[in-house]
């Protein structure tokens, strides 16, 4: 695919409001750039509060209009057609994600089964939504039951680090439940969301059901979060922005689903399969250049193997191929932007100042064909105390901090010594130990002898400041439904 013809046409770079491809009210645009080269990829329409108003009004009309009359089976048919279209165009989506945010093409292609499986899972849920009849103790002949109904207009704000799957995570339950949506994609990587909106229309989703309004988070995102005619906001991003969304939601007490930051522990016991653990913990942090909310950025290693294991992870990091994501041999791509590069480098300086030691990596690649991009060597830091800032704050880059521990209780204590609670990993051959530690860790997901594995039926979300609500699985669909009780007295 020619990177200068992204999303087929200029149509894919306009706002999508009420089934139409339109320019913003004020005609503003912004550029989206390839982080591997620094080159402009596309000029994208930049919506503001007035465009959000138009999109929300369209979503409300669609919610109360034709879309409300679709049967569960009809919604299912539309979603399955949408899945087929995305599947047919999957190579295009892989390249869009690679060019727009830098993820290696081998990784974006590897997400095909997950992405298409997610859409088809939501299709399966259309006909599984239902209420219950309720035995009750009311006097007389009283029949009571519940209905499950869509919550209404959803404002969705997605991150830049996994454009395809994070956008499907928002669109899927909206279509399954009969809600409507105004989607504000991240300004650093908006192209995939626009293309998905285009294909949703092609699949037969009625105008106004899925509206896509790119723009700045502080403008379009803020307007969406505070809009009085939005019934629910689903947000994935930083905890700082999550707090602002909570504040903005107070006007009409809108529902919130927040998937926020993480500082996930990846715990290696001395009795683990260490060969498997080296690669697993390494890619648990270095995959997608550490730009994953649940990345295993805190490597907790049992003290008896600490030095040797950290050295092995450092050797693994040195062997990873850093390069432009479009090249098949690339394992680690760039970070998404100059701003993100500066953030990661600043944390490396903070860590050294705190007393941590850089075992390997830490340098920006400034020579050869990668010099114009935002490439950073995979970095391993040791002699890290678990209270250091680099062990407590989300860096969101290819940097792992190695922390020693003494036994299961100490591992649990250190794992929980953070404000976050999104993901965690355990590496051990002892099944009883695995269950004990998994129960003790306060995180939404615990991976044992693996890391980062996701499936459409498995719920994903966090504890503490990693947010609330769950994505994937039946729990996710429930987040988009309201329960209505009906009490009927006969005679």
Widest Cα–Cα separation across the chain = 85
pLDDT tens per residue, range 241-271: 999 999 999 999 999 999 999 999 999 999 9
pLDDT tens per residue, range 331-380: 999 999 999 999 999 999 999 999 999 999 999 999 899 999 999 999 99
Domain extent for 347? 265-455
Q: How many residues does the chain have?
A: 491
Local confidence band at 6 (pLDDT 50, 70, 90 cut-offs): low
**Is 131 in a helix, a strand, or coil?**
coil
Clarify whether residues 253 and 310 are in a common domain: no
Clarify whether residues 249 and 350 are in a common domain: no
Residue 101: both structure tokens together: 């945010």
Checking if the pLDDT of 412 tops 90, the result is yes
pLDDT of residue 444: 98
Is residue 84 included in any domain, yes or no?
A: yes
Cβ atoms of 447 and 424 closer than 8 Å: yes
Residue 184 to residues 171, 190, 282, Cα–Cα distance (Å) = 12, 9, 33
Distance CA 122, CA 372 (A): 41
pLDDT tens per residue, range 10-39: 455 899 999 999 999 999 999 999 999 999
Local confidence band at 8 (pLDDT 50, 70, 90 cut-offs): very low
Clarify whether residues 178 and 159 are in a common domain: yes
Is residue 462 included in any domain, yes or no?
A: no
Local confidence band at 9 (pLDDT 50, 70, 90 cut-offs): very low
Is residue 480 included in any domain, yes or no?
A: yes
Share of the chain above pLDDT 70, in %: 98
Clarify whether residues 225 and 350 are in a common domain: no
Clarify whether residues 446 and 481 are in a common domain: no
Clarify whether residues 80 and 119 are in a common domain: yes
Clarify whether residues 124 and 21 are in a common domain: yes
Catalytic residue among 126, 293, 478, 479: 293
Is residue 225 included in any domain, yes or no?
A: yes
Checking if the pLDDT of 443 tops 70, the result is yes
Local confidence band at 417 (pLDDT 50, 70, 90 cut-offs): very high
CATH of the domain at 110: 3.40.605.10
**Is 107 in a helix, a strand, or coil?**
helix
Clarify whether residues 271 and 254 are in a common domain: no
Distance CA 390, CA 71 (A): 51
Quote the mean pLDDT of the chain: 96
293 carries an active-site annotation: yes
Cβ atoms of 108 and 98 closer than 8 Å: yes
pLDDT of residue 491: 73
Catalytic residue among 187, 198, 259, 471: 259
CA angle 323, 345, 98 (to 5 degrees): 30
Clarify whether residues 88 and 198 are in a common domain: yes
Is residue 7 included in any domain, yes or no?
A: yes
pLDDT of residue 104: 97
pLDDT of residue 12: 58
Q: Are strands 298-302 and 399-405 parallel, antiparallel or unpaired?
A: parallel
Is residue 311 included in any domain, yes or no?
A: yes
pLDDT tens per residue, range 71-113: 999 999 999 999 999 999 999 999 999 999 999 999 999 999 9
Checking if the pLDDT of 7 tops 80, the result is no
Clarify whether residues 139 and 271 are in a common domain: no
CATH of the domain at 432: 3.40.309.10
Burial of 189 per CB tally in 10 Å (0-12, 13-18, 19+):
buried
CA angle 471, 473, 477 (to 5 degrees): 70
Q: Using N-to-C axis directions, what is the helix angle for 163-177 and 191-202, rounded to 10°?
A: 30
pTM of this prediction? 0.94
The number of folded domains in the chain is: 2
Is residue 30 included in any domain, yes or no?
A: yes
Is residue 460 included in any domain, yes or no?
A: no
Clarify whether residues 283 and 384 are in a common domain: yes
479 carries an active-site annotation: no
Clarify whether residues 331 and 273 are in a common domain: yes
């Amino acid at each position: 695919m020619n990177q200068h013809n992204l999303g087929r046409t200029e149509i894919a770079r306009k706002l999508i409001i009420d089934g139409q491809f339109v320019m913003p009210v004020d005609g503003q645009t912004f550029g989206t750039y390839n982080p591997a080269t620094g080159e402009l990829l596309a000029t994208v329409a930049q919506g503001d509060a007035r465009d959000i108003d138009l999109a929300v009004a369209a979503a409300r009309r669609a919610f109360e209009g034709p879309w409300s009359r679709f049967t569960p089976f009809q919604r299912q048919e539309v979603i399955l057609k949408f899945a087929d279209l995305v599947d047919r165009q999957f190579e295009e989506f892989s390249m869009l994600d690679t060019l727009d945010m830098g993820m290696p093409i081998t990784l974006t292609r590897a997400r095909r089964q997950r992405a298409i499986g997610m859409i088809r899972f939501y299709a399966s849920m259309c006909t599984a939504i239902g209420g219950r009849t309720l035995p009750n103790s009311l006097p007389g002949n009283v029949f009571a039951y519940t209905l499950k109904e869509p919550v209404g207009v959803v404002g969705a704000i997605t991150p830049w680090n996994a454009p395809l799957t994070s956008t499907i995570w928002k669109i899927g339950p909206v279509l399954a439940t009969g809600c409507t949506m105004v989607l504000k994609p991240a300004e650093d990587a908006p192209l995939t969301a626009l293309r998905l909106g285009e294909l949703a229309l092609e699949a037969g989703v009625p105008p106004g059901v899925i509206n896509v309004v790119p723009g700045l988070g502080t403008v379009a995102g803020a307007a969406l979060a505070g809009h009085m005619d939005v019934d629910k906001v689903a947000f994935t991003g930083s905890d700082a922005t999550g707090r602002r969304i909570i504040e903005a939601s107070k006007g009409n007490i809108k529902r919130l689903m927040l998937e926020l930051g993480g500082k996930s522990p990846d715990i290696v016991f001395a009795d683990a399969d260490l060969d498997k653990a080296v690669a697993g913990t390494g890619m648990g942090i270095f995959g997608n250049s550490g730009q994953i909310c649940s990345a295993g950025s805190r490597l907790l290693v049992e003290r008896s193997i600490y030095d040797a294991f950290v050295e092995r992870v450092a050797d693994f990091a040195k062997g990873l191929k850093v390069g432009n994501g479009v090249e098949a041999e690339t394992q680690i791509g760039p970070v998404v932007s100059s701003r993100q590069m500066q953030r990661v480098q600043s944390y490396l300086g903070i860590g050294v100042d705190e007393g941590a030691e850089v075992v390997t990596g830490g340098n920006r690649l400034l020579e050869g064909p990668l010099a114009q991009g935002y490439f950073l060597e995979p970095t391993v830091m040791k002699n890290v105390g678990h209270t250091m800032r680099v062990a407590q704050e989300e860096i969101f880059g290819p940097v792992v901090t190695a922390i020693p521990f003494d036994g299961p209780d100490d591992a649990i204590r250190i794992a929980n010594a953070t404000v976050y609670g999104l993901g965690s990993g355990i590496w051990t051959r002892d099944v009883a130990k695995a269950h004990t530690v998994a129960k003790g860790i306060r995180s939404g997901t615990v991976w044992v002898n693996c890391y980062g594995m996701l499936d459409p039926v498995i719920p994903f979300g966090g504890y503490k400041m990693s947010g609330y609500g769950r994505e994937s699985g039946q729990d996710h669909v429930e987040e988009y439904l309201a329960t209505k009780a009906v009490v009927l007295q006969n005679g």
